[in-house]
Amino acid sequence: MLKQTKIVTRIMLGFALILLAALILGVLAANSITQMTQTAADVFRHPFTVTRSILEVRADVLAGHNDAAALRTAWQTTRSLPEVVQGQCERWRS
């Protein structure tokens, strides 16, 4: 069938197929770039969220250690904790 067509028709058909293949590859490439951009944005956002959460937990743990040290010191000096405990509870609420 192709042997019976003119050379110009065959060249135009081949060129059209190449253009169609380039168009399909271009659309696939654009889609892949969009996905990579979204993934890169997620990767850059996520570590900072985790780091911030870890720092908040670390601060809470250190605050607990400081509170325990304050309670221990108060118990050793006064053998009484009600005022100290109440002060620590007020501090924790704020």
Q: How far is CA 4 from CA 1, 7, 8, 12, 14, in A?
A: 5, 9, 12, 15, 15
Looking at residue 68, its pLDDT comes to: 75
Q: Would you say residue 67 has pLDDT above 90?
A: no
13 or 84, which is more confident: 13
Q: Report the distance separating Cα 31 and Cα 10, nearest Å.
A: 32
Looking at residue 94, its pLDDT comes to: 64
**DSSP result, the chain:** -GGGS-HHHHHHHHHHHHHHHHHHHHHHHHHHHHHHHHHHHHHHHHHHHHHHHHHHHHHHHHHHHHHHHHHHHHHHHHS--HHHHHHHHHHHH-
What is the arithmetic mean of pLDDT over 66-73? 74
Q: Would you say residue 21 has pLDDT above 70?
A: yes
- Residue found under tokens 């118990």: 75
Looking at residue 24, its pLDDT comes to: 97
